[in-house]
Structure 1
Amino acid sequence: MAATRARVSSFSRNVSTVTSQNHGLKHGPNGTMFISSGIPDLDKILGGGFSLGSLVMVMEDPEAPHHMLLLRNFMSQGLVQKQPLLYASASRDPKSFLGTLPSPASPKGDNKSSDLSHEKDLRIAWQYKKYFGEPQLNLNTNNGGQHDYCNDFDLRKPLDRHFFSGNNVDCVSIKDSPNLTALQDCCAGFLAKFSRNEGSISSAGRIAIQSFCSPQCKYSNEEWHMLSFIRSLKGMARSSNAVIVVTFPPSLLPPSCSKRLQHMADTLLSVKAIPDEDKELAKLLTGYQDMIGLLNVHKVARLNTQFTT
C-alpha cells in the first residue's frame, strides 16, 4: 500500500521542514514569519502566532481587564527571548507595569507541584479549544526557563528583573500628551531598528500600546487624529520585522471610529468576561466553572496573499 504523501504546492511553503535558527521566530506560509503571542493555545488558533509586520488590535471588555493577560504574556514572551520591547500606556509611570509581567512556569519535573499550579493558574477559556484534537503544529512550547519559541507563564510569579533591566525595553507615557506626534516618533525610531531591507532576520521587535484612546489621553476626542496614527503605524509595521499589539476600549469610542479601527487591524481579538450562572453557555463549554473569560478571534492576518484584510 502506497504511503500517504503530504500535498505540497509550488505556491506554498512546507512549514514542517522549515526551521529558524532564532528560537523566537517561526516560518509560516507565503514567506511569512511568526513570533509567539505568549499563549500556546492562541498561537495554534492563529496558525503559529503573530505575523511579523502585522498590527494586532485587542478590544477591551469594559466589565473586566482580561485584555491585560494577553498584553502581559505578549510582553513577557518577548523579554524572555531577548526581543526589544517598546511599551506605551496612559500611566504616569509605565515602567512600573513591567513588575506585573508573569514569569515562565517551572519545569514539569515535579508532577505534583505542576498539577497544583495548573489548577490554580488563572486561565482564559478559549472558545474554540474543544474543536482541536492532538496538536498538529510544532510550536516548541516550553514550560521551563529555556528561551524557546513559546513559554507557559505562571501568572502568580513576577518576571525576574534582569529580563527588563537592560537597554532592550523602552517605556513611554502618553497620559499628558496633547497629540500622538511624540508616540509616533518613538514608534518610528524603534521600528527603524528592524527594517526588512537588511535581508536576514537577526531579531524581532515588539510594540505594546495599552488602552489606546482612553479618556486619560488628551487626544481621545480627536477621532481622525487617532485613525491617522493607527494607519501610519500599520504602514510602518509592514516594512519592519516587528509586531504591534494595541488594546483599545471600543465602548468609549463613537461606533464609526471603533469600526474603522477594527477594519485597519491585521489581527483582531476581543476578550470578554464570562457572565455568572449562564446556563446556556455552561452547556456549550467544558469546564465552565473554571473559566473566567472568552477570547474571540474576529480576524486573522493574511500577509503576502491576495486576500483582502
Structure 2
Amino acid sequence: MRLSILDQAPISSNQTPQDALKESKRLAQVGEQLGYTRFWIAEHHDLAGLACSAPEVMLSYIGANTKTIRIGSGAVLLPYYRPYKVAETYNMLATLFPNRIDIGIGRAPGGSAEATNALSDRFLQQVWDLPKSLEELLHFIYNDFPADHEYAKVKAAPIPETAPAPWLLGTSKKSALLAAETGMSYAFGQFMSENDGQDIIKQYRDSYKPKKEEHKPNVIVTVSAICADTTEIAEEIALSSLIWAIQKEKGEGNKGIPSVKKAKEYPLTEEEKHKVEKMKQKMIIGNQMEVKKKLLDLQASYQADEIMIVTITHSPEDRLTSYKLISKAFK
C-alpha cells in the first residue's frame, strides 16, 4: 500500500514558527528515507498554531533538501489566485525538481473571514467560479489551449519536461464530481469530513472522464493517525492535539499545541469530553499492528489507491516515531 504524508506545519507551545518549519523539512527528509510516496504541505492564513501560509516557498526549501520524494501543495487555495500565476509557480518548481511536483487544489478559505478579505475581495465569487479557474489552470499546465482561445499564445514558463501532477482536494460529492469531470486525481480529506466518503469516492470513479488517454482515476484518502509503541502511549500523545482542538474552538489555542502534561491537566466539561471522544472516532490511534489494521481496513472500505497520513503531536520526535512505526509495519 502506498503511504504519504500531509503536513500542516503545526507549532507546539515550546516552538517558534521557524522551529515548526524546520521540523517540516526534517519530516520530509525522514519520510523520504522511510519510503513514503509523497509529502504535501498545507496552506493556512493567520491560523494560530499553523506556520505555513505559502506552500510554494516551503516546497522550494523542502525540494532542495530532499532528492526523490514527491512534494506538493495540500492545497493551493485557488480562489485567491489567478490560474496563470499558479501554473507559473508550479512549473517553476517542476523545472527545479523534475518529476517530483504535485499541485493539489482546494477551495477552502484556510483562515478567518478577516484574513480572507485581506487576501481577496472576490473570494466567494471565485469559489463559484472554481470550475472555470480549474479548467484554465489545467490548460496552462498541459499547455493545450484551443487555438482560438485568448491565452493560446501564453505559456506558463518555464515549461518543465514533466508537468506538475494536478490533484483536486475535497470532502464532498461536489468536489469529487468536479475532479471526475476534469479528469483529475482526487484526494478525499476523511480526517475533516462528516460525509459518506465511500459513496463520494464511488461517484468519482463512476463519473471519471480522462482528460488525456493515459489518465486514470486515482484516489488518496487522508486520515489523522498517531502510532506509538503501545496503545496507551499513543492515546496520551493524541491528547495534545485533541485538547488543542478544544482550545482553538474556545479561542484559547494561540499558544500552540500543548504538552501531554498540560493536556492532561486541562479541565473539560461533560460536553467537551463528548467532543473529544467524537474526534477520536475520526482518528486512528494505537500501536503498530492496530494502526496497520485500521489503515488496511480504511483502504479497503474506500477502495483507495493511497493513504495519506496527517499527524499532529506536541513533540516532533513523537511525530517522527509515529511515521516510522507505520512505515515499518508495511515493510
Q: What's the TM-score, normalizing by structure 2?
A: 0.29
Higher relative contact order (CA 8 A, sep 6+): 1
Q: What's the TM-score, normalizing by structure 1?
A: 0.31
Greater share of residues in strand:
1
